[in-house]
A and B are shown apart, each in its own frame.
Chain A
Amino acid sequence: MSLAHGPGRAGGLSGSSSDQELHALKHVAYIKNLDTRKDELQYWLTEHLRLNGIYWGLTALHLLGHPDALPRQETIDFVLSCQRDNGGFGAAPGHDAHMLYTVSAVQILVTIDAVDELEKQGRGGKQKVASFIAGLQNKNDGSFMGDQWGETDTRFLYGALNALSLLGLMDLVDVPKAVTYVQSCENFDGAYGISPGTESHAGQVFTCIGALSIAGRLDLVNKDRLGAWLSERQVDNGGFNGRPEKLVDACYTWWVGSSLAMIDRLDWIDRQKLSAFVLQCQDPEAGGFADRPGNMVDVYHTNFGLAGLSLLGVVEGLQEVDPVYCMPKSVIARCFAR
């Protein structure tokens, strides 16, 4: 079972940008077919993203109301085949363990309600996965590394809190220190960078606000200032960019939109116009979403495009998404009801 690879071979060049319908079934078919393209070199060149890809595809299918479109047992088997001896997960079998794929593995197992599988076959259970994650925290400043080689980034800090909270094992890490680290990444414009001192970036805002949200410390955020910066990401064609003066991209619908939702400022932007822009990024014939209208689709933009649309609530027919986890709300509710 493997899934992530793009770009999609999209048709849909008719340029009917006025097309404002959600082509849900086309997207379902597009995602289901991703794993049948093993005769393309691109499929093999993107193996380092496979586990992320399954998370993207699976989440998109859930939001589209087709939660069973991927075979459950095969999904479980593939996820488990990516686990390494240290408890972490690699992108595909044989690939090194890394925070990014470990988080995807946890998210997938939670989504299909299969976390218990970790307890089988002497795998050491969820405790072992959580220990791998906790072992990547820098005890001095609270930040997290991606793996043993030392790269540090607020993406990994968010990922750690995301996965550990889903597993119910947050107490393995120093949450207050992690919170302090996130605060040290805040800039004068109210937004956040990849590490202390770096420029604000919408993707990093999502990770920092998501982390603070999981830690229950959104009270530390200057919501009006951050909301102002985030709302300035919307440009005239309705789409969002990730930084001032940069190109729009459908995936920022999610990074910016979910951040606005978390700080309760989603009404500071024009949702109708944003939804219209995202719909233009669909391939109406072959399914999938691209970064911008007329471009190649891929499963990454398909997931974040759909998640963004779900968040905005303008287009009908999508399941509700949780802005903190980018997973279906119903899944998050089930997970935390335990």
Chain B
Amino acid sequence: MASHGVRRFKPVEKTPEEHERELKQIEEYKSLENSVSEKVAAQEYSTETLRQICDLLSRNPEYYTVWNYRRQAIRHQFSTAGGDAGDSAESAAESIVQLIKDDLMFLIPLLRSFPKCYWIWNYRLWLLDEARRLLPQPVARRFWQEELGLVGKMLTLDSRNFHGWGYRRLVVETLKQLGSEEESRNMTQQEFDYAKKMIGANLSNFSAWHYRTKLILRLLEEQSASDEERRAMLDDVFAGEIAEIEEMLDGAEDCKYIYQSLIECTLLVSKVAGHMASEDHRQVLSWLSELKQLDPLRRQRWLDLEKTLQSEITAATST
């Protein structure tokens, strides 16, 4: 619907043959759709129904209602798995494992072709949750563990994929719930290292930076770190970041982000101290006048900040 990044082209009059072909495609599609709806309405969840659902979803993965049909059909298969008299619970579990495996496989090419389609990611999560609901914990955990490998591959292909990062977070959360306390703690450290690796591969990967920020807090929380340890860790983080900013400053006097960082840091320091030194005030105002030049798009923002600072000075000197 929302066509993103598709170049506009001159409309070309369709030849009668092309027109005919398109009408035939429509007819085929509609008849497949009707057949699926009828079978689902009749609760006929046969292998043939599932095959047609696959076919329809491969043609149109955005058709959310058909993903729901698929859930119903798969649930039906789960409930009949190992249903023959004499079958053990074990063989039922085995059939369910196979059903889930096959279904996860079916989704891979779709995810590759439509990495931004919400419905596919959702369906996949639902399926993995079914594994958790129906299978012994160690078996379910294996599915989720493999998922972490898959999402890693997806993020290597597109390191800013919004769904990919959100999905990774969910997979990690679940793995933590499915593992021991120690496994859970190791997982946080492992993810922290992963974020570092992704940042190393591309310094301007904001998604990885964001992930890292959240993980720092998590690490501190889980290690129930003492104040001292927290300070040491934050010092470590800030030292790294300040060093980076200093490196960037060299020869980049026209980079607005550096002035913005300097202002932000100074304001933060003064907030902690409870007041701003008059020298800092002058400094910030001079950086602001640079910014007004360098960043005309956001001129009013800098004017507003200037006004706030000046009224603070006035208030401070009058008391």
Task: In the A-B complex, list the 9 residue pairs whose CB atoms are closest, starting with the nearest.
Answer: A7-B3, A9-B11, A268-B301, A300-B2, A296-B6, A199-B210, A296-B3, A267-B300, A96-B65
Is B304 touching A4 in the complex (CB atoms < 8 A)? no
Contacts of B126 in A (CB 8 A): 149-150
Q: Fill in one digit per residue for A241-265: 1 if any B CB lies within 8 Å of its CB, else 0.
A: 0011111010100000000000001
Nearest Cβ on chain B to A187's Cβ, whole angstroms: 7
Find the A residue at minimum CB distance from B169.
A197
Q: Fill in one digit per residue for A286-302: 1 if any B CB lies within 8 Å of its CB, else 0.
A: 10001110111111110
Q: Fill in one digit per residue for A11-34: 1 if any B CB lies within 8 Å of its CB, else 0.
A: 111000000000000000000000
Is A6 touching B2 in the complex (CB atoms < 8 A)? yes
> Any chain B CB within 8 A of the CB of A164?
no
Nearest Cβ on chain A to B282's Cβ, whole angstroms: 21
Contacts of A46 in B (CB 8 A): 1, 62
Is B1 touching A6 in the complex (CB atoms < 8 A)? yes
Q: Fill in one digit per residue for A267-283: 1 if any B CB lies within 8 Å of its CB, else 0.
A: 11110010000000001
Residue from the list A47, A194, A227, A295 in contact with B6, Cβ < 8 A: A295
Is B8 touching A44 in the complex (CB atoms < 8 A)? no
Is A149 touching B5 in the complex (CB atoms < 8 A)? no
Q: How many angstroms from the CA of A39 to the CA of B27 in the assembled complex?
A: 10
Is B65 touching A291 in the complex (CB atoms < 8 A)? no
Interface segment out of the listed B159-167, B174-182, B239-247: B159-167
Find the B residue at minimum CB distance from A96.
B65
Contacts of A231 in B (CB 8 A): 297-298, 301
Residue from the list B1, B30, B204, B297 in contact with A270, Cβ < 8 A: B297
Q: Fill in one digit per residue for B19-44: 1 if any A CB lies within 8 Å of its CB, else 0.
A: 10011011001100000010000000
Is B26 touching A41 in the complex (CB atoms < 8 A)? yes
Contacts of A151 in B (CB 8 A): 118, 122
Nearest Cβ on chain B to A242's Cβ, whole angstroms: 9
Nearest Cβ on chain B to A227's Cβ, whole angstroms: 7
Is A7 touching B6 in the complex (CB atoms < 8 A)? yes
Q: How many angstroms from the CA of A39 to the CA of B29 in the assembled complex?
A: 13
Residue from the list A13, A147, A244 in contact with B206, Cβ < 8 A: A244
> Any chain B CB within 8 A of the CB of A95?
yes
Q: How many angstroms from the CA of A267 to the CA of B302 in the assembled complex?
A: 11
Nearest Cβ on chain B to A289's Cβ, whole angstroms: 11
Residues of B within 8 A of A (CB): 1-11, 19, 22-23, 25-26, 29-30, 37, 59-60, 62-65, 68, 71, 118, 122, 126, 129, 160, 162, 165-166, 169, 204, 206-207, 210-211, 213-214, 296-301, 304
Is A243 touching B206 in the complex (CB atoms < 8 A)? yes
Q: How many angstroms from the CA of A12 to the CA of B26 in the assembled complex?
A: 28
> Given A7-B3, A39-B23, A41-B25, is A297 in contact with B8 using a C-beta cutoff of 8 Å?
yes
Is A298 touching B30 in the complex (CB atoms < 8 A)? no
Contacts of B301 in A (CB 8 A): 227-228, 231, 265, 268
Is A188 touching B213 in the complex (CB atoms < 8 A)? yes
> Any chain B CB within 8 A of the CB of A123?
no
Q: How many angstroms from the CA of A232 to the CA of B295 in the assembled complex?
A: 10
B2, B22, B160, B297 — most chain A CB neighbours (10 Å): B2
Is B5 touching A292 in the complex (CB atoms < 8 A)? yes
Which A residues between 211 and 250 are near B, CB-CB below 8 angstroms?
Answer: 227-228, 231-232, 234, 236, 243-247, 249
Find the A residue at minimum CB distance from B71.
A149
> Given A7-B6, A198-B169, A295-B6, is A245 in contact with B64 using a C-beta cutoff of 8 Å?
no
Is A198 touching B165 in the complex (CB atoms < 8 A)? yes
User: Could you list 18 A-B pairs, sorted by A, with CB under 8 Å?
Assistant: A5-B1, A7-B6, A11-B10, A41-B29, A48-B65, A94-B37, A96-B68, A151-B118, A193-B166, A194-B166, A232-B298, A243-B162, A243-B206, A245-B204, A249-B4, A290-B8, A292-B5, A296-B3
Is A268 touching B64 in the complex (CB atoms < 8 A)? no
Contacts of A45 in B (CB 8 A): 29, 59-60, 62
> Given A295-B3, A300-B1, is A268 in contact with B298 using a C-beta cutoff of 8 Å?
yes
Q: How many angstroms from the CA of A330 to the CA of B274 in the assembled complex?
A: 47
> Any chain B CB within 8 A of the CB of A159?
no
> Any chain B CB within 8 A of the CB of A53?
yes
Is B26 touching A195 in the complex (CB atoms < 8 A)? no
Extra contacts besides A40-B22, A295-B5 (18): CB < 8 Å: A13-B9, A39-B26, A41-B25, A46-B1, A91-B64, A98-B64, A149-B68, A149-B122, A188-B213, A193-B166, A198-B166, A236-B297, A243-B206, A244-B206, A267-B300, A270-B299, A298-B1, A301-B2
Nearest Cβ on chain A to B201's Cβ, whole angstroms: 14
